Amino acid sequence: MSIKVTGLTYVYMKGTPFEKIALDNIDLSIETGEFVGIIGHTGSGKSTLVQHFNGLLKPTSGSVYINGEKLEGKRARELKRQVGIVFQYPEHQLFEETVYKDIAFGLIKRGEEENEIDKKVRKTVRMVGLSEDILDKSPFELSGGQKRRVAMAGILVLEPSILVLDEPAAGLDPRGRDEIFELISNLHKSNKMTVVLVSHSMEDVAKYVERVVVMNKGRIEMCGPVRSVFNKIDELERIGLAAPQITYLMKRLKEKIPEINDNILTVGEAKAELEKYIRKA
């Protein structure tokens, strides 16, 4: 499913002395099956933008469309179901006695049949890389990475067509971070799911997404293929952002070794490029 916003403006505390324009006339399209990253410094409007994708916030002006249908009126409730949002530290929202009950909560609220709930919960817990043995445990007994997976399962069990993730690996150790991003990447590939990733980590964005939206002061500053955007280092730095650290390293190396390719975004690409250079040398 696709997302489109046109002329989207959102004003916090409109009509008060604290009025603030958080989004300023945004136009953006995200196509079905895309993996899009949204980056920007704190306060740039990225989290405010994605909260419009499933109606958590309503535009001050402008429109949101899900798969070509405007997010309003009688169809709004059904359209909202197509967009699952995983917020930063989603495990803080775990509250049930068991993992099973936590994952099943949304399905129960929808009034689904018990046997259908059971099938979906078991399918989803496997989808996020956990064993069914975990279902009877308290979510509060789990590791940080496991809690994060359970929280994501609670969204995925509702079978959204679009998955929005706001800093999904925040607070995890490097191993847990890699596991979460591999899970997200696999969901995108195997389920052909539309994925929107909000992140401060240029490394994660460079490694996983296909297209990057750069936000600044409530507006879209840049938008394009990930390699194209991260090549504009001067423009990124002007608004307080940066390219991935490995990109800077490769540009420094190019000063010493002119023949190497410095159009590098990930450690894997750097490794391959340096191995190629060593074989030639």
Comparing CA positions, the residue from 29, 17, 26 lying closest to residue 66 is 29
Residue 94 or 153, more confident: 153
Query: Percent of the chain scored above 70 by pLDDT?
Result: 100
Q: Rg (Cα) of the chain, in Å, rounded? A: 21
**Crossing angle of helices 114-127 and 99-110, rounded to 10°:** 130
> Dihedrals φ, ψ of 259, to 5°?
-80, -10
**Crossing angle of helices 144-156 and 174-191, rounded to 10°:** 20
The rounded distance, in Å, linking the Cα atoms of 178 and 133 is 23
Contact 130, 136 (CB under 8 A): no
Of 36-45, 142-151, 205-214, 250-259, give the lowest mean pLDDT range.
Answer: 142-151
DSSP conformation class of 30: E
The rounded distance, in Å, linking the Cα atoms of 94 and 169 is 16
90 pLDDT above the threshold of 90: no
The confidence score (pLDDT) of residue 21 equals 95
**Three-state DSSP class for residue 23:** strand
The rounded distance, in Å, linking the Cα atoms of 111 and 78 is 15
Residue type, 230: F
The confidence score (pLDDT) of residue 279 equals 87
Place of tokens 């750069």: 214
The confidence score (pLDDT) of residue 144 equals 81
Of 65-74, 87-96, 252-261, give the lowest mean pLDDT range.
Answer: 87-96
- 148-181 per-position pLDDT tens digit: 889 899 999 999 999 999 988 888 888 888 888 9
Domain 1-82+162-171+183-242 -> CATH class? alpha beta
Mean pLDDT of 115-134: 94
- 48-83 per-position pLDDT tens digit: 999 999 999 999 999 999 999 999 988 998 999 999
Mean pLDDT of 239-260: 93
281 pLDDT above the threshold of 80: no
Mean pLDDT of 10-16: 92
Mean pLDDT of 256-266: 92
Mean pLDDT (the chain) is 92
Residue type, 97: E
Task: Name residue 155's beta-bridge partners.
Answer: none
Domain residue spans of the chain = 1-82+162-171+183-242, 92-159, 244-281
137 pLDDT above the threshold of 90: yes
Residue type, 165: L
The confidence score (pLDDT) of residue 179 equals 86
The rounded distance, in Å, linking the Cα atoms of 233 and 237 is 6
